Amino acid sequence: GGGNGTALSLLVKAFPWIRGINFDLPHVVAVAPKSGSIENVGGDMFMSIPNADAAFLMWILHDWDDEECIKILKKCREAIPEDKGKVIIVEAVLEEDKEDDELGFVGLMLDMAMMAHTDKGKERTLKEWSYVLRQSGFTRFTVNPIRAVQSVIEAYP
């Protein structure tokens, strides 16, 4: 789900020692800009994901229901090394107690956008993220809130 590689190119620019693989459907990466430190690879994330030290998924998993999300995460799990690999997910983590959530209305807006965008996707709470990650074979994960609607979730084998 790397699209035209914009997010990955920003990461590689900020951390020039890494090499990136922009992975998306073949027709999408066919028109992605070429870069010396980014390889554009076409494929289907439900079939396989290129091997890497880390998989980076930003605004991808909320497009899918739990079953499909677990399939994608299992493919990510297969693609990373057992000893040092991780999956980095940038997605919203909704508060379960809406009354204490200052940004609860944003979660509602995100859910409404998902209803218009897809018939299967959804935003997830921490409990729901824990479920899909554990079902995908990840033994531990951390959630790091950032100064945005999204959080950074790091999942480890």
Tokens representing residue 136 in the block: 């995908």
Helix axes 126-135, 66-79, angle to 10 degrees: 50
- Report d(CA 138, CA 1) in Å as an integer: 20
Query: Is 27 among the residues known to form the active site?
Result: no
> Would you say 85 and 54 are in contact if contact means Cβ atoms under 8 Å apart?
yes
Measured in whole angstroms, the distance separating CA 124 from the mean position of its chain's CA atoms is 13
Compute the radius of gyration of the chain from its Cα atoms.
16
Element (H, E) at 76: helix 66-79
- Dihedral (CA of 37, 28, 114, 155) sign: negative
From the candidates 8, 24, 62, 94, which is the catalytic residue? 62
Alpha carbon separation from 98 to 107, 137, 147 (Å, rounded): 9, 29, 19
Among all residues, which ones are annotated catalytic? 62
